Structure formats: C-alpha cells, structure tokens
Structure 1
Amino acid sequence: MSQIISSLSRSVIPAPMAGGPTTPELVHAAHAVGSFGTLGLGSASIDSARTQIEQCAGIPFGVNLFCPQEPLTDAHLAAARELARAENHLLPEPDYSFGFEEKLQLALQGGSRVVWSMFGTFTPECVERIHAAGAEAWTTVTTPGEANAAARSGVDVLCVQGPAAGGHRGTWDITATPDSRPLEELVSDVHAAVPDLPLIAAGGLRTADDIAAALSWPGVTACSCGSAFLLAREAGTSDYNRRLVRSGGQTVSTRAFSGRYARGLETDYTRSHPDLPPVYPLLNPVLKERRAQHDDAVAYCLVGTEVEKINGGTVADILNRLCQNPH
C-alpha cells in the first residue's frame, strides 16, 4: 500500500494539470483538507518548475513529469512543417526531453513525496533514486501492457486513466490510437494484470456517486480528478478557459489540440483536422499566437466529458462535494 495514499483522509486527489491549472495554491489547499496535490510540471520551464517546487516547501506534495519521447520521424516532421506553413509560422526546434532530468533533480532536492510519470514510466535506476530520496514513484497507464511494464520498473502506484479523461491521454506510444475501454473495464483488466499494485482511478469522475463506484472496483485505493478542479478558486485556469468551461459543449479526443491525443472542447480546428498526425510537441507553438488572441477556432481548452457537471468554489468545496456520502 502507498504510504502517501494511506495517510490521506480524502479518497480524491486533484490530478496534476500541466500548463497552468494546477498551482502551488491548489496543492496547498488540497493538503489543508486531507488530500494530496501534485504539480503538473511536464511542460513547465526549469525556472518555473523550481519556483513552484519551492512554493510547496513544508507540506507533502508531488511532481508530475513528462517522460522523454523519441524524436519525430522525418515524415511527421514534414507534416508539422506543413501545418506551420499553413499558419505562416516557422517551426521551432523541438525539445523531446521536456527537461525531465533537471526537473526530477529539482523535485527530489525539493522534498517531493511523489514523482509521477506521464507518457511513459521510469527506469529501475530512476525508481531507486526516487526511493532513496524518500519518495514514491507513480505512473499513469492506459493499458494492461503499460501497467505490466511500469510494474517491472518497480513503481509504487499506477494511475489508470480512462477515455473520458480531460487533458492529454497518457498513452506511452505517441503513434498509437488510445485504448477505448471504459474506465471500470480498464481498471479491472489492469488489476488482473498487476494485482499487487494499488490503483488510482482517473477519467470522467464527476460526482460523489462516481467516486463511490470507482472505489468499489478491485485494486482502487483513490480517485484522481482533474477537470472537476478547473474552476476551483485556487486553480490557475485562465479567465478565457473558465468562460469556455462554463459555456459547456461537446468534447472530443483528438491530436488536433497538441499533436498527442487529448480531450477538450471541440473547435473549428479539431473538426477540420480529424486525422492530424502525431506532431507533439510542435503543434502548440504553431498555434500559440492565435490562441493568445483567444481565437475560438483554435481554442485549447482541455477538459473531460460531461462538462456541464463541473462547478466552481474552493478546492475544499469541490472535495466536499466529491467525497460526501452518495445518495
């Protein structure tokens, strides 16, 4: 059993959301009411990562990192150049490392109690480093095969992320089509594959009833909710995206947000690019200028299903709604 999870008085933990929504303030607020917060540092600069970690000093916290990816193939780079040309934009030089090593070192030096990987898992040597620093190694998985691989590396906890999740799907293979099994079925299959590892259920959990149901599934020791906290007072969600979330709408899972599969509010761009190739991390820079101008056609509002069920308030308010006894 995870010492972190067993120490909590809440069964729900806010998911680490990269790009701004998860702030040190949100992490502090989660800790203050018996939950556990994890900084989403995958896309953060090294300076920003350092600052956020420093701001969490003194409380238990986690850090979520993107695993380095293989360089894009020549064909996918060519496709990215074509997308950039259509936007009259020069293609930047990609960073496939996401600053993983530097951020890992900052996390361990800064007292992070959890290092949580996305888009892959840790090497056994990396897990040893994490354990030596007194932290736990967690990994997001989307298939039983990924779960088996993570278990072999020695991780402590698996976050099983289903297809209803907002934000990026944590698939390890950028070229793969994400597994479409409903969360309950996926959790069951992952538990059957690695029965000894504690599981966190994630993806589309919106209500206390959803949480109670997920906690009854085999192996599940906690639930992770991301979209449920997008409108939290302590979240760093932009005013523009707060308005989009409140407006609701259809969500879609597509590469047309970033070049990796992610779920968010449908836009003109997602509708006109249904078969975008895997060009992550190069699509965001191409569309950055238009997105900065709040061009709805290319909006980047990553959120899970059933947007209409997302409410605001403080982190404590949201946790109270999710963790209350269902009726």
Structure 2
Amino acid sequence: MSSALTDLCRYPIVQAPMAGGASGPELAAAVSEAGGLGFLAAGYKTAGGMYQEIKQLRGLTGRPFGVNLFMPQPAYADAAAVDVYRHQLAGEASWYDTPLGDPDSGRDDGYEAKLAILRDDPVPLVSFTFGCPTPAALSPLKRAGTLTVVTVTTPEEALAAQHAGADAVCVQGIEAGGHQGTHRDDPANDGGGIGLLALIGQVREAVPLPIVAAGGIMRGSQIAAVLAAGADAAQLGTAFLVCPESGANVLHKQAMTSPLFNRTELTRAFSGRPARGLVNRFMSEHGPYAPAAYPEVHHLTSGLRKAAAKAGDPQAMALWAGQGHRLARDLPAGRLVEVLAAETAAAGSALALRHPA
C-alpha cells in the first residue's frame, strides 16, 4: 500500500460504506479504533445529515476514516418503462398500505453540496461510487490533504480514475453485495461482471494506483489472497453488516445466515440498478421485469421497503449481501477487525512456509 494510505490504518482492512443506514458513525468508529479504516456512507443522506454524522464520528474517534459519495446519475431512464413498473407494483403498495414514491425525487444525491462541505472541512479520505469524478472535483480535495478513491469494475474504469487524478481505486468484483459501482449502467452488460481475483490482475496491469479489493471477502485468508493477487487492502461490507454497531435492520442481519435465504442474485427490482442481495419474494416476482432506471426505481420502492421492514417482513426488503454471506459472524466490529487481522497474518505465514523465498 502506498505510504499515504498505509498511514490511515494499522491493518489492510477497510469497512465498506453501505448506504441505507448500516455504515454510520458507531460502526466506522469501532473499525477505525481497532486498526481498520471505518467508512461513513453519505449516499441517500442530505448534505446536512452527512455533516452531522462526520461530527458525531469525530466525537467517537480521533483515528482516520473515509466518507463515500454517490455520483450524480445521467437522465436516460425510459419514463414509460418506469410507469409500467409503477403499475406492476400497485399490488405491493396495497398490501403494505403505503403509497409508491415519486420516481423524480432527485438524481444528484446532493453531490455538489456534499463536496462543498468536504472541501471546507476535510476528512482523511473520500471515495466515489457510480461514476468517475472530474479532475476539477478531485483537485480541491487533494489540495486539502484528502485522499481520493474511485470505485471501478473494469480496467477501463480504472484508467478513467487515473486520468481524473484519483489516488487509488476500489476494485469491485461481481461477488460484492449491494450495488455494482459501474460508471455507466448498461443493461446489455447485466450478469457480465468480472470476478474479483481476475479483476485485480487486470487493473494491476492497467494502472499503477493502489488497489482496495472488494467483493465477497469474509475471512482473513481471503484478505491474504487478494493481497497476494496485487491488492493493497481489502474492503468488507457484508462481514460488518451483522455487527452490533451496524445500523442495518435486525431482519437484514438475521437473514445473512438464515436457512430461508440461501443464495444471492443481482437484481434491478429495488433500485433499477444491478445490486446483489438475498433472493426473496419481491426479487423473484419483480426482478425479471424491473427497468434500468436508477434512481427512479429506488425512489419508487423506498416506501415499500420501509413498510415491509416495519411489518417485520423480510420478503419485500432489499437484503443486500455479498456471495460470502453465509460466513457472517456476529461479533463486535472491533473484535471482528482483530480476528480478521490475525487470520490474515496466519494465512500469510502459511503461504510463506509453503513457498519459501
């Protein structure tokens, strides 16, 4: 890992920024305090909400942390297709006794306002998802001493991040839970993502930037594997989602290891953008017909998902999860960092014994 990024954490363990409530100040603080790198998810929050969480996190730890931003999305969704999907969801709205949301509730997630706050009150690291920021957006952050990371899913996206001036890339394999961080959402590429180990190798040959590897990582042996493959650190989301400090709904946490949910798929059912989650009734019924329309579908189904959670029904919740979800361990976040670090060291030692220099 480059010296600048190495200085941010004792261990090469990054807690993924999981938007929707899981990655709040308590989780980020616990991870950073234990020697990992905690992350706040600013996605789906107002600029003011993000600022308040940063203040809260600073009150919990003096160690470095990151903040993740969603890039504004281009307006290319088919309005007619969104309207058809709205009618298909009418039965869900009736069942959960809640209105469907307004698909035109906003496309930019308060991006410019959040950037302005992060320029004026810098944090150690800022990462970007769903696109590549411009050099004009990254330069002021860099001048303020903030390291910048861009999520990529292909070598071409990594090259774009390098050209924009990013300090590092978060390489996201197809195994990852939650949304795929592709820079352009092309339905023609659905299901065509690259596995993490193969992607690390391709990105390593494409750009010289430090790599944070993400996608299905749940154990220290897997962290050691991605480090051996060329990554500088590993980012884990699902592994931290079940921790007591996580703000994820208890039904979501329980579903990770429940025998009722034994596999994951990529779906557009909940947000209109490919995202990996546990297969439930809503995904099975609506996934095949959900349009490529983010964030329109996200806004449309937001109330339904909240109503289902309130009703205690995980069958209509977005149960985001990586492919390794069955390996989730219900440990305090700080303890999980310690266990992962010990496992990583043990795996590295075992590899050295098998293949001495």
Does TM, scored on the shorter chain, surpass 0.5?
A: yes
CA contact (8 A) 2:153 2:194 kept: no
2:73 matched residue in structure 1: 69
Cα distance in 2 for residues equivalent to 1:51 and 1:255 = 31
Deviation track 1:82-141 (CA, whole Å, cap 9, x = no partner) reads 345454545512310011111122223333111100001110111111112110110000
Cα distance in 1 for residues equivalent to 2:134 and 2:81 = 27
Shift of 1:7: 4.2
Shift of 1:267: 1.0
Shift of 1:179: 3.8
Cα distance in 1 for residues equivalent to 2:193 and 2:127 = 23
1:210 matched residue in structure 2: 222
CA contact (8 A) 1:163 1:183 kept: yes
Cα distance in 2 for residues equivalent to 1:136 and 1:251 = 33
Cα distance in 1 for residues equivalent to 2:108 and 2:85 = 18
Tell me which of 142, 155, 165 is aligned to 2:176. 165
The answer on 1:98 being equivalent to 2:116 is: no
Query: What one-letter code is carried by the residue in structure 1 that aligns with 2:215?
Result: G
Cα distance in 1 for residues equivalent to 2:173 and 2:116 = 30
Structure 2 counterparts to residues 228-267 of structure 1, below 5 A? 228-247=239-258, 248-267=261-280
Cα distance in 2 for residues equivalent to 1:233 and 1:296 = 19
1:11 matched residue in structure 2: 12
Give the number of equivalent residue pairs: 325
1:197 matched residue in structure 2: 209
User: Structure 1 residues 79 and 153 mapped into 2: Cα distance closer, same or farther (>3 Å)?
Assistant: farther
Q: Which runs of 5+ in 2 are unaligned?
A: 94-98, 351-357
Deviation track 1:156-179 (CA, whole Å, cap 9, x = no partner) reads 000000011111111121234254
CA contact (8 A) 1:254 1:263 kept: yes
Deviation track 1:26-65 (CA, whole Å, cap 9, x = no partner) reads 1111221221111111111233212101112344221100
> By percentage of residues, which structure has more helix?
2
Identity percentage of aligned residues = 32
Q: TM-score normalised to the size of structure 2? A: 0.85
2:233 matched residue in structure 1: 222
CA contact (8 A) 1:171 1:178 kept: no
Residue aligned with 1:160, SS: strand
Query: What one-letter code is carried by the residue in structure 2 that aligns with 1:65?
Result: L
CA contact (8 A) 1:143 1:179 kept: no
CA contact (8 A) 1:84 1:91 kept: no
Shift of 1:279: 2.2
User: Structure 1 residues 81 and 272 mapped into 2: Cα distance closer, same or farther (>3 Å)?
Assistant: closer
Structure 2 counterparts to residues 1-327 of structure 1, below 5 A? 1=2, 3-57=4-58, 58-71=62-75, 72-88=77-93, 89-92=99-102, 93-176=104-187, 177=190, 179-194=192-207, 196-218=208-230, 220-247=231-258, 248-275=261-288, 276-287=290-301, 288-289=303-304, 290-291=307-308, 292-324=310-342, 325-326=346-347
Shift of 1:75: 3.9
Cα distance in 2 for residues equivalent to 1:2 and 1:77 = 47
Residue aligned with 1:274, SS: helix
Shift of 1:189: 0.8
Deviation track 1:140-198 (CA, whole Å, cap 9, x = no partner) reads 0001111111111010000000011111111121234254322110111111111x101
Residue aligned with 1:273, SS: helix
User: Structure 1 residues 73 and 284 mapped into 2: Cα distance closer, same or farther (>3 Å)?
Assistant: closer
Residue aligned with 1:104, SS: helix
2:96 matched residue in structure 1: none
Q: TM-score normalised to the size of structure 1? A: 0.93
Shift of 1:237: 1.4
Query: What one-letter code is carried by the residue in structure 2 that aligns with 1:252?
Result: E
- Structure with bigger gyration radius: 2
